[in-house]
Amino acid sequence: MFALFSRILKLAGPYKGRIQGAFACAFVESILSKMPIFLAFVVLSGFAAGTLTGQTCLYVGLGLAAAVLVQMLVHYLSDSLQSAAGYLMFAEKRMELGGHLRKLPMGYFTSGNIGKISSVLSTDMVFIEEVAMSTLGNMMSYLLSSLVLLAFMFYLNWQLGLIAALVTILAWLVSRGMNKVSLREAAGRQEQSERLTDAVLSFVEGIGVIKSYNLLGEKSEELTDNFKRSRNTSLAFERKMTPWTMGLNVLYGIGIAAIFGLSVFLEWSGVLSLAYVLGVLLFVFDLFGPLKALYGEASRLTVMNAALDRIEAVLEEPELPDTGKQHIPAQAQPGQPEVRFHDVAFAYQDKEVLHHISFSMRPNSMTALVGPSGGGKSTIANLLARLWDVKSGSVAIRGVDTRQVPLAELMDHISMVFQRVYLFQDTIYNNISMGKPDATEEEVYEAARKARCYDFIMALPDGFQTVVGEGGATLSGGEKQRIACAGVSVMDPDVLVLSEPSSNLDAQSVMDLRRILAKWKSEGRTVIISEHRLYYLHGIADRFIYICDGCIDRDMTADEFCSL
């Protein structure tokens, strides 16, 4: 428990003071929460001794009112400090995670890891900031309340105090076993939560394909199985925790009975006065209440611990090294290639998929990577933008290895159009200017004209201020592609990388794409494109490189390619 408190304080960073302040408030609150019992003991003692006066009752009433008011204030401060700390901490943690994800290689973003990221953001972080942070202050209050009550038992009688201390120690030993089980099971629950999230995302994203193949029942059954596994995992967790919880309750009951029985015996023996027996009666039923609540909350802490492990696991994923200090020259030297792949090999984990790739691209040229699916065309294009790092060899722009250039600077020189265009749920204007937020209105309009999408945008009800659906769902494939090309144009890059840009386009949209490519080339840009459709590249591509099984099978000029 204390290790987790320490872990949270370390995680809190600049907000550590807020959490420590919440703990201080919890300490004051724990004392004030027992004041009504203490004041009741004062009244009963006076009544038993025959010394109770009206003035004493007045003071007790005022003290009780003051204690309640101060307790309300302290509780408010404690909640405000720790809850605000949780939201502030994880607002920064989400920003940190976003920054970290930007620097991870594309190979990390598999379907399984997408589910993990989604689960970390929507489940783990939310659980800690909304549930666990408020639990921390409560647990500290329970712990301190238990110590206060234990001290009062020793004040009443050392023998009663010993019994209370023995029960507390036994409860701690039982709770250690309970926490071990809880920690083990909590990890399983969080993993199942991740699998469920991944299953839901896969089902929703693939709903069109699922319907087209009439697999709705089969895939629904798969999703239902995940829901059932989540239910069974939670039930198994509760079944394994119940014996421990029952054991603690039995222990508390035995402790209460022992303390009450001993106090009656001591009063009968003349060791303990009637007033003190009444005091024991007031305290004994509340004596182990904080302890019971403390260990009752322990399962939340174990889930919190598992959630922190998963958050840290994502944040510890190795980033692409970004230690480069070199800069890309403003232009290539005479005779120097704009882009050069030298003896490049690349592997997905342990499987090498590119072998000894070497070719150069001169400035203001267009190179088409062609060949069968799975041959390595898109991988080569992605290596130029350093979405992954090469296993061996080098990729250079104007003579500078891309690994030696800061990533931010590299992306100032390169823009990409992917096979699957994704637009954000925002205005078309903002989607186009996203890569260059300070672009002027005229720059955005001119980029749209170059990408041949200005007219259809202006025909929309709100023009450039039209909000597109998530992923660009309200637009056709060709419209999305042209808006993506406009976003590339407004960034004004030196090198353009396109991966299967025509795969989802109709014939008219493909011809629009051809005109856009010709325009980019005429503006002096260097273009590398991986493609299956080749007819629209005749007359604008200078070179065709045939990629098969991760190797360059042929390297042809445009004339050589046309003569095949």
The token pair at 18 is 């807020």
User: What is the predicted pLDDT for the residue at 132?
Assistant: 64
DSSP string, 172-199: HHHHHHHHHHHHHHHHHHHHHHHHHHHH
pTM beyond 0.85: no
Measure the CA–CA gap between 213 and 504, rounded to whole angstroms. Answer: 19
User: What pLDDT score does 429 carry?
Assistant: 93
Number of Cα atoms under 13 Å in the Cβ half of residue 429: 14
- Spell out the per-residue pLDDT of the chain, length 564, in tens: 566 777 777 777 788 888 878 878 877 877 787 788 778 777 877 777 777 788 888 888 898 899 889 988 988 888 778 777 878 888 888 898 988 888 888 767 765 677 778 878 888 888 887 776 667 766 777 777 777 778 877 877 888 889 888 988 888 888 777 777 777 777 677 677 777 777 777 777 666 655 655 655 555 677 788 888 888 888 888 788 788 888 888 888 888 888 888 888 888 888 877 777 777 777 777 777 767 776 766 667 777 777 888 888 888 888 888 888 899 998 888 889 999 999 999 988 778 899 999 999 999 899 999 988 888 888 898 898 888 889 999 999 999 999 999 988 888 899 888 877 888 888 999 999 988 888 899 999 999 998 888 988 999 889 999 998 777 778 888 888 889 888 888 888 899 998 888 877 778 888 888 888 888 888 888 999 998 888 888 888 999 999 999 999 999 888 888 776
> Rounded to an integer, what distance in angstroms lies between the CA atom of residue 404 and that of residue 519?
31
Contact 386, 407 (CB under 8 A): yes
Secondary structure of 334-403 as H, E, C letters: CCCCCEEEEEEEEEECCEEEEEEEEEEECCCCEEEEECCCCCCHHHHHHHHCCCCCCCEEEEEECCEEHH
Cβ atoms of 127 and 304 within 8 Å: the answer is yes
The pLDDT, as a whole number, for residue 110 is 63
Is the Cβ–Cβ distance between 57 and 39 less than 8 Å?
A: no
Q: Which amino acid is at 253?
A: G
Q: Residues 501, 527: contact at Cβ < 8 Å?
A: no
pLDDT reported for residue 10? 79
493 phi/psi in degrees, rounded to 5: -80, 165
Report the candidate in 410, 392, 414, 386 with the shortest Cα–Cα distance to residue 528.
Answer: 414
What string of DSSP letters covers 216-241?
HHHHHHHHHHHHHHHHHHHHHHHHHH
Residue 423, judged by CB atoms within 10 A of its CB (0-12, 13-18, 19+), counts as buried
Contact 54, 104 (CB under 8 A): no
